[in-house]
Amino acid sequence: MFDTGRVSARPRPEIPLAVLGERARPVTLAAERALPVTSVLAPLLPDGGLPRGATVGVHGPGATALALALVAAASGAGSWTAVVGADDLGLVAAAEAGLALERTVVVADPPPAAWSTVVAALVESVEVVLVRASRRVAPGEQRRLRTHLRRRGGVLVRLPGPGIWPEDPDVRLRSVRASWEGAVATDRLDGAGRLRRRRLVVEAEGRGRAARPRRLELWLPGPDGAPAPLVTTPSTTVPSTTADLPNPTVTATTDGRGTRWAEVG
Amino acid sequence: MAPSPAPGPDQAAERALVAVVADWPVVAARIAGDVGEGGTVGAGDTAHVGEAPDGAGPVVVVHANRVVAASGAARAAGVTVGLRRREAQGRCPAAAVVTADPAREGRTFEPLAAALDAVTPRVEVRHPGEVAFPTRGPSRYFGGDAALVHRVAGVLDARLPPGVAPGVAVADGTFAAGCAARSGPAVVEPGASAAFLADRPVGEAAEHLDRDDAREATSVLARLGVRALGALAALPAPDVLARFGPAGELLHRLARGLDPRPLATRRAAPELAVAVELDPPIDRTDVLAFRAVALADDLHARLARDGRVCLRLGVEVETDHGERRRRSWRHEGGLTASAVAERVRWQLDGWLDGPAAERPTAGVTVLRLDPEEVTAARGRQLGFWGGETRIDEEAARALARVAALLGPDAVTVAEVTGGRGPTDRIASVPAAAVDLGARTVVRPGPTGPWPGRLPPPSPALVPASPVEVELRAADGTAVAVDGRGTVSAPPARLGRVEVVAWAGPWPADERWWDPDRARRRARVQVVLADGTAHLLALEGGVWHREGSYD
């Protein structure tokens, strides 16, 4: 009736401590493991943020502006940003996109021998790293970077450049069509107007949670240098029919004389 | 509640002179030329300096969207410190808004501090805009406190822009002297400081200490009904210490007309000084600042081993020709290594920008850091939300490591400068030469007198040196821009690529008054058939690509 000790209980399976630790780890949602991103670009990314530990590649016309717009919100929220190997990055444009210049550091292209050490040191301690590789990255170097990146939970953005990465990024953003607005055709002698904004079509694909292809059309840069949504929906209630109409701002593109710089300054 | 006993002779505050230039950020912006041509600036809000003759051009200096200083004209229009930027602009639409820049303020203040070296060698800069020194020797030498005040005011007046007058006063202790310098009288008699301070709010003492716990104690005291310093001084010291801790004790000492810590009149510990011989001599301030970081790190390590922190640091540089300049810097919270480096940079920049007769003539060969005042380190709590966080420190450490690997010039941060083109508006400064933890918000906004500047969006790629290109019209001739700012023909091809749209030209005739630095340029924007857009500039008959809108 009672346990006499003869019925030997089945020995409990031995669980390695590491597995136990993994199971007991506090649960965080994927959305919490992401750096903030501006609401305009959020539809391009899984969970509407930059996944921590991920590598992002940007390609196509407007890739630099895309990279800046992508990391601007994280920078504004307090993350440090390091730019490696892109001495020609326009810092005025970066500030207009929303980067906090007081937390932005530009690192000159390191010599090949020190490249992976420098990038790894930055990835270890700076949350957002923008890298333009000037040569072929060895697979071992990339694995090392990935380990550092995962551990630190930062984001590595690959700027387009001559270098070759052995593996595809986790998220790949490619702008497929760009058209500028504000300049006049070349048959006019007065050159009225100025470049105001660019309409950009961006396609996103990737691995894992980012696998579903996404597509977004937006103004990048918008009139103030920051990205702007194509259809501006006012916060007040809008008749549902207007949502399908073409954006009224598109028609009013080139105004007569445009704004001369002297008047703006 | 018995009044506290009168301070014994052993703890009486040392008489000190404080000189204040009200709204120094405004004056600094004006000296540095960051305010528009019409921007006359005055410090007309101190009662005893007389009205400043500023009719036009109110100036407001903002940091993190809040007003930190305003010129007399702006104050007259209702602008107060702490106001939001928008509200300040609303109250005074004519005001020129300048972003606060500690480097500019430190650099422009250096010549004033240097001028006071002729009066006494013990000048210490409390922060740009305010100096203090003990008066025991100088006062006797110049014939009394009033004569000394007159002399110091004269020395400073000669070096300030017209319309700006310094406030100078002598009293027991720097706090009382500072209050008197802002509001008068010029001399508070010995022993009268406590009575002089009795009607002032406790908050002023908390601001003098610049400690958050003192500000907290102030608000609690106000709710307890203790608003004036006289009321605080009447409380027994042990009770204040028991209730408010060290911050309360310091406030109470100030209220009684004592110094929280007397100005040091003797050398603290000469053996703690560290120096480095520089061979070859260094003639660049950022390189010197880089060496200063290493030296300051060394000094900190030695002090930390003894559990001490440096409150006042003497920075001395000596050139190859034996010219020497020494300056004392004070910070109540202790100076970090990067803060030391930044002050070295201010000191050197100020020396180089100063009067030609006093400028150094050779590279710096000796850099010496001399802790003039040390105290026990009480530890520093890092912020949990915002402020100084562990992450920031980690990032700063990694950047120092990268700089050590690649050289100090390879790691740069941006500083906003004035200008019109994309390369002019931002300057790169070696990260080692600035205090990364305490950088102000730098944003190239619509400040400064730069008509004809490119409005946003700005080019995302800016080549370090402009690339020469060929811009041709449809008939194959090079596009030219005449003196009236019109093109000879619309651009049709950039190199081999067709131009589909263009805008401009925008002529810019810069620094025409300076033959060495004058530049005449005309800029155009072109959109090419491949979808890319570029910013081109014509200078001396040659087109350059200044930037690409990638």
Q: Note whether ipTM > 0.85 here.
A: no
Chain B closest CA to A20's CA: distance in Å? 29
**Residue bearing the bigger pLDDT, B454 or A103:** A103
User: In chain B, which residues have their Cβ closer than 8 Å to the Cβ of A223?
Assistant: 456-457
What is the pLDDT averaged over residues A88-104? 86
Give the domain A30-173 fold: Rossmann fold (3.40.50)
Q: Flag whether residue B426 sits within 8 Å of chain A, measured between CB atoms.
A: yes
* Mean per-residue pLDDT of chain B: 78
Q: Please check whether residue B4 is in contact with residue B24, taking contact to mean a CB–CB distance below 8 angstroms.
A: no
pLDDT at B44: 34
* Mean per-residue pLDDT of chain A: 77
Q: Please check whether residue B209 is in contact with residue B254, taking contact to mean a CB–CB distance below 8 angstroms.
A: yes
pLDDT tens for A139-189 read 888 888 888 888 878 899 999 888 888 888 889 999 888 888 887 777 777
User: In chain B, which residues have their Cβ closer than 8 Å to the Cβ of A192?
Assistant: 503
Q: Flag whether residue B271 sits within 8 Å of chain A, measured between CB atoms.
A: no
Q: Which of B457, B526, B532 sits opposite A93 (nearest CB)?
A: B457
Structure tokens at B179: 């209050």
pLDDT tens for B205-251 read 888 877 778 888 899 999 989 889 999 999 998 888 888 887 888 88
Structure tokens at B189: 């008699």
CA distance linking residue B88 with residue B527, whole number of Å = 40
pLDDT at B40: 37
Taking an 8 Å cut-off on Cβ atoms, the answer to whether B414 and A91 are in contact is yes
User: In chain B, which residues have their Cβ closer than 8 Å to the Cβ of A100?
Assistant: 441
- pLDDT of A248 > 50? The answer is no
Q: How confident is the model at residue B299 (pLDDT cuts 50, 70, 90)?
A: confident
pLDDT at B263: 47
Specify which residues B536 forms β-bridges with: B524, B545
Taking an 8 Å cut-off on Cβ atoms, the answer to whether A183 and B406 are in contact is no
pLDDT at A25: 62
* Cβ-proximal residues to B239 (8 Å cutoff; 6+ apart), any chain: none
Angle value at C-alpha A90, between A88 and A93, nearest 5 degrees: 165
pLDDT at A157: 93
**Residue bearing the bigger pLDDT, A109 or A261:** A109
Taking an 8 Å cut-off on Cβ atoms, the answer to whether A92 and B531 are in contact is no
Taking CA atoms, what residue in A is nearest to B465? A88
Backbone angles phi, psi at A89, to 5 degrees: -65, 130
- Judged by average pLDDT, the poorest of B72-86, B146-160, B506-520 is B506-520
- pLDDT of A249 > 70? The answer is no
User: In chain A, which residues have their Cβ closer than 8 Å to the Cβ of B531?
Assistant: 61, 177-180
Q: Flag whether residue B338 sits within 8 Å of chain A, measured between CB atoms.
A: no
pLDDT tens for B464-512 read 888 888 888 888 888 888 877 788 888 888 888 888 888 878 887 777 7
**Domains in chain B: ranges and CATH:** 15-183 (3.40.1170.60), 277-376 (3.30.1490.100), 390-438 (no CATH), 467-548 (no CATH)
Q: How confident is the model at residue A68 (pLDDT cuts 50, 70, 90)?
A: very high
CA distance linking residue B432 with residue B399, whole number of Å = 9
User: In chain B, which residues have their Cβ closer than 8 Å to the Cβ of A187?
Assistant: 490
Taking an 8 Å cut-off on Cβ atoms, the answer to whether B489 and A102 are in contact is no
- pLDDT of B388 > 60? The answer is no
pLDDT at B334: 60
User: In chain A, which residues have their Cβ closer than 8 Å to the Cβ of B400?
Assistant: none
Q: Among all chains, which residue has been given the structure tokens 């595809």?
A: A168
pLDDT at B169: 92
- Judged by average pLDDT, the poorest of B73-82, B315-324, B411-420 is B411-420
Q: Flag whether residue B100 sits within 8 Å of chain A, measured between CB atoms.
A: no
DSSP B4: P
Q: How confident is the model at residue B45 (pLDDT cuts 50, 70, 90)?
A: very low
Among the ranges A21-25, A215-219, B450-454, B482-486, which has the highest mean pLDDT value?
Answer: A215-219
Interface probe with A: pick from B420, B506, B523, B527, most Cβ of A within 10 Å:
B527
Chain B closest CA to A50's CA: distance in Å? 19
User: In chain B, which residues have their Cβ closer than 8 Å to the Cβ of A185?
Assistant: 500-501
Per domain, the residue ranges of chain A are 30-173
pLDDT at A236: 38
User: In chain A, which residues have their Cβ closer than 8 Å to the Cβ of B453?
Assistant: 261, 264-265
**Residue bearing the bigger pLDDT, B487 or B426:** B487
- pLDDT of A131 > 90? The answer is yes
Q: Among all chains, which residue has been given the structure tokens 């050590």?
A: B404
Window 2-21 of B: residues touching A by CB (8 A cutoff) are: none
- pLDDT of A130 > 90? The answer is yes
DSSP B384: S
- pLDDT of B15 > 70? The answer is yes
Q: How confident is the model at residue A11 (pLDDT cuts 50, 70, 90)?
A: low
Give the Cβ contact number of residue A109 at 10 Å: 20
Taking CA atoms, what residue in A is nearest to B529? A179
Amino acid identity of residue A8, one-letter, is S
Interface probe with B: pick from A105, A116, A199, A260, most Cβ of B within 10 Å:
A105
